Amino acid sequence: MNKIEMNTNLYDELIYENLIQVSKEIILPLYGKLKKEQISFKSRLDDFVTVADRNTEKFLKPKLLNLIKGSNFIGEESYSEIGYSDNLVSDYTWTCDPIDGTYNYVNNLDKFCIMISLCKSRIPIASWLYFPIFKIFCYSNLNSSVIFRDDKSKIKVFRKNNELQFEVVKGVNFIEDNLFKDFCPQKDNNGFTIAKNIRCAGFQIVALVCGKIDYLLHKYITPWDHSPVFNLAKSAGCNIYLKPKEKNFYYNYSGQLLCTSSNLIYNKLKKI
CA angle 40, 43, 49 (to 5 degrees): 30
Alpha-carbon separation of residue 139 from 7, 114, 154, 168, 206 (angstroms)? 14, 11, 11, 15, 10
pLDDT tens-digit profile of 79-115? 765 555 554 678 999 999 999 999 999 999 999 999 9
Using DSSP, state whether 154 is helix, strand or coil.
strand
- Choose among 86, 85, 34, 76: nearest CA to 56: 76
Distance CA 109, CA 132 (A): 12
Quick one: which of 48, 86, 79, 82 has its CA closest to 222? 79
- Measured distance CA(14)–CA(21) in Å, rounded: 11
Query: How many Å apart are CA 40 and CA 10, to the nearest integer?
Result: 36
pLDDT of residue 3: 47
Can you tell me the distance from the alpha carbon of 144 to that of 159, in angstroms, rounded to the nearest whole number? 9
CA gap 219, 222 in Å, rounded: 10
Q: Can you list the domains of the chain with their CATH numbers?
A: 3-270 (3.30.540.10)
CB-CB contact of 132 with 27 (8 Å) = yes
Phi-psi region of 15 (alpha: psi -120 to 50; beta: other; left: phi over 0): alpha
Q: How many helices (H) and strands (E) does the chain have?
A: 9, 15
Q: Specify the pLDDT at position 90.
A: 87
Q: With CA atoms as reference, report the closest residue to 202 among 81, 80, 98, 47.
A: 98
pLDDT of residue 47: 78
Query: pTM score, two decimals?
Result: 0.93
- What pLDDT is stored for residue 84 in this prediction? 56
- Within 10 Å of residue 249's Cβ, how many Cβ atoms? 22
Alpha-carbon torsion (18, 9, 222, 198), positive or negative:
negative
Whether the CB-CB separation of 28 and 50 falls below 8 Å is answered with no
Distance of CA 166 to the CA centre of its chain: 20
Cβ pair 220, 88 in contact under 8 A: no
pLDDT in tens, the chain (272 residues): 344 454 556 799 999 999 999 999 999 999 999 999 999 987 666 679 999 999 999 999 999 999 999 999 999 998 765 555 554 678 999 999 999 999 999 999 999 999 999 999 999 999 999 999 999 999 999 889 999 999 899 999 999 998 999 999 999 877 777 899 999 999 999 999 999 999 999 999 999 999 999 999 999 999 999 999 999 999 999 999 999 999 999 999 999 999 999 999 999 897 77
